[in-house]
Amino acid sequence: MPNIKVIQLEEATGKLRDIYDDLIEKRGKLAAIHTIQSLNPDSIIAHMELYMTIMFSHSPLSRAQREMIAVVVSAANGCEYCQQHHGAALNNYWKDEIRVQMLRENYETAGLNEADTLLCKYAIGLTLHPDDFEKENRTERLRQAGLNDRAILDATLVVAYFNFVNRIVLALGVETEEKAGEGYKY
């Protein structure tokens, strides 16, 4: 049960209803992360612009890599909602539910290549120990693995975004929908 009042689709009117209808049309479905922001409809619009830019725009990182980072960050934060949603999105690319589950439990067991392993290590480090990044250059290993500065920026944006969203989910009691991740347009 959410920790704040939520206006569901059936109750939504005016601008909020328009936003909900647009999300359903563009994304295939309305998610609880959207409805939890229903008391501030403008935040839903800004949130979706940020999400679409970080997760879907042109990047040296593949969509699968960005979803992989989302899953690793969400696992580190204990955010079941985002693990399920973005695990389903990642499985859309990997087509291997067991491997996605392994990633959630311990990325080192998921059979990742060097660059993806380093991206996961970077994501967990930045999530759990952001102060360490000020002390040492954590980006050099990513460069040595073939990632350019734009890829490093994009990885950092994905990590920061999911730390932001995980905190909304956990603080406000966003519940995972039945069949989380199904019905979305990837």
Predicted model pTM: 0.93
Q: Are 74 and 86 in contact (CB under 8 A)?
A: yes
- Tell me the per-residue pLDDT of 13-53, one tens digit each, with 9 for 90 and over: 999 999 999 999 998 889 999 999 999 999 999 999 999 99
pLDDT of residue 28: 86
Q: Give the domains, in start order, of the chain with CATH numbers.
A: 63-167 (1.20.1290.10)
Question: Where on the phi/psi map is residue 12: left (φ > 0), alpha (ψ -120 to 50), or beta?
Answer: beta
pLDDT of residue 132: 83
* Radius of gyration (C-alpha) of the chain in whole angstroms: 17
- Tell me the per-residue pLDDT of 112-167, one tens digit each, with 9 for 90 and over: 999 999 999 999 999 999 988 766 778 999 999 999 999 999 999 999 999 999 99
Reply yes or no on whether the pLDDT at 186 is more than 60.
Answer: no
